[in-house]
Amino acid sequence: MSDRVSPGNRPTGSHPLVAHVLGARPNFVKAAPVINALADGAIGTGQVVIHTGQHYDERMSEIFFRDLGLPEPDVNLEVGSGSHAQQTAALMIGLEREFTERSPALVIVYGDVNSTIAAALVAAKLHIPVAHVEAGLRSFDMTMPEEVNRRLTDQLSDLCFVTSPEAIGHLAAEGVPVERTHFVGNPMIDTLLANLAAFDTEAVRARYGLPDRYVLATMHRPANVDSPAVAGELVNRLHEIADMTDVVIPLHPRGRAVLLAAGLDDHPGLHVLDPLGYIDFIATVRGAAAVVTDSGGLQEETTILGVPCLTVRPNTERPITITHGTNQLVTFDELVPAARKALGQAAGGPAAGDRTPPLWDGQAGPRIAEVITRYLG
């Protein structure tokens, strides 16, 4: 596990201040290497971590800070849950107050959650430059709230940090000036590689009573879990997979009630767990025979771990995980046959070196820190 950033890296009056805005689980994983690399940097950039409180349960938030060695947030806005408008409005009001009081030289936002767009919008209106980590990914599906957040955040960003080459073209096609775009690699993979030794599959098997062979499933997209009818369909398919091999599902709070009401755990081979922390979760993924998911980040993590990944979505903003990795998009109808096939294949191993997506090498954080240092210098 990474070391915590020491208080010596807290902002001082003489250094430009960068504000990291973090709200939801995937933000924490992406920010850790950037915060660490900036803390190591030569110019001694001051850093503040603003936790918006979009995710607030201990298992959705604090456990990630501990696992990743992230510094304690300087402030937690505790915005909590709500409709998109309610949540985004609360985020904007809290962030405007923080940015006004702290006057950061740069606001760094991560990924595609509501905290990301809220921070970019507030910073832009206050004329504070914005850096977007994981810019340019596109599903071209505007029914996903994340796609709306991505597109708008990129329009507002002065530095667009790109994880995958096709994102450069997406940004150019939307008129983002090329000098704003920096292809730096994938900080989520920095975190994965930095913690490889900590992912102990035997330990998690023992701790959670998992069988030797299992499929790991995660489901939380509104399109899959909000409607009882759709969730019921999905539960039937997961039961069919559990007829073949046990299924382990750490359950995100979104959809928990709907999935359980649809009978998710009414199958002896289906193991419902509470949400897991980062280290235990990736250890569980590493030990899985296959993964079934609708997550964005997990498509990338399975690519590096070499675990077959079936993504239950009609599209992905991460096509490189299909061309270079282990990912496959499946409909509900395709899910069970695809799982059968994946389970029949030999166990995976790490992605072959020449298939690893370019710059997914554990050095994205230092590359981002270098660009930011130059920019602020």
Which residue numbers are catalytic? 220
Q: What is the nearest approach in angstroms of ligand UD1 to the Cβ of residue 90?
A: 11
Q: What is the nearest approach in angstroms of ligand UD1 to the Cβ of residue 316?
A: 13
Q: What is the nearest approach in angstroms of ligand UD1 to the Cβ of residue 257?
A: 9
| Cα 26 → chain centroid | 3
Q: Which is nearer to ligand UD1, 56 or 208 (CB)?
A: 56
> Which residues contact ligand UD1 (rule: CB under 6 A)?
24-26, 54-57, 60, 81, 87, 112-114, 145-146, 220, 252-254
Instruction: Provide the token pair at 154.
Output: 């990129």
Cβ-based neighbour number of residue 342 at 10 Å: 22
Q: Which is nearer to ligand UD1, 54 or 284 (CB)?
A: 54
11: left (phi over 0), alpha (psi -120 to 50) or beta: beta
Q: Which is nearer to ligand UD1, 296 or 348 (CB)?
A: 296
Q: What is the nearest approach in angstroms of ligand UD1 to the Cβ of residue 337?
A: 27
- Angle, CA 293 vertex, CA 240 and CA 342 arms, to 5°: 60
242 contacts 218 by C-beta, under 8 angstroms: no
Q: Which is nearer to ligand UD1, 132 or 220 (CB)?
A: 220
